[in-house]
Amino acid sequence: MRELPGPLRLLGPRARRWVRRVADLVLAPVSSVAGGRVPGEVAVTFDDGPEPAVTPALLGVLAHHRVTCTFFLLVNQAEQHPELVRAIVAAGHEVALHGLDHRPLPPLGHRGALRYLREARRRLEAVTGRPVHWYRPPYGKQSAASWAAARRAGLDVVVWSADAADWEDVEVADVVALAHERLVDGGILLLHERVEPGPAGEPVETRFDRVEVVDQVLADLRDRGLRPVTVGALARRAHRTAWFR
């Protein structure tokens, strides 16, 4: 979730949850979608794609489990692989924006972020052939200025409530276990089709099978009685949070 000021990190878990609830109420006008309020529903989302080595098999697994998800795509990837974007749309999944590339927007200021997001939305819609409503900031980096830019660009910001840390070089079982532990009723799970370099430009290399991760996560959700839906479906009764970091 969003970062708390230093002194508040010393509070216990219950006190921190209370502070966050109060902050979310106060800052509701500038909040981002972080989940839903329909019992039994969750959203499984994928960042940084599309990716030729992963996306086709991933779509096969999603079809096998008969679920629809949300893909937060990078425009530079989408324009290189429009056939994969068309396949995502044809399978009934939701396409959302992750950026022209993977740069954080706060350093651009409000005007720079607005120009960037308007261009990114226009170009992604040209590939998808349909409107794009949702935007997820790379690395979760967001300022009040970049949030306002997203809203002026006609986008609603979506963050996450559960990070399975699939950008670390671990085993399939480790990613699945984190998803099981962190994703609860109404939550949004962050996963990746591919992984961009880290915030400081450091390379990220993982060797586990991303499609196998998704297969096991979806099987676990089925066993827990949780139904994956798109962000758009989940957000009909959205839980929002003030997310700035």
> Is 239 labeled as catalytic in the residue annotation?
no
> How many angstroms separate the CA atoms of 30 and 201, rounded?
29
Catalytic one of 24, 47, 166, 215: 47
Other Cβ atoms within 10 Å of 10 Cβ, number: 9
| Helix 109-128, helix 144-152: angle, nearest 10 | 40
Closest CA to 121 of 80, 83, 151, 88: 151
> Is 47 labeled as catalytic in the residue annotation?
yes
> How many angstroms separate the CA atoms of 156 and 148, rounded?
10
Q: Phi/psi of residue 68, each to 5°?
A: -120, 145
Catalytic one of 24, 166, 192, 215: 192
Looking at the annotation, which residues are catalytic?
47, 192
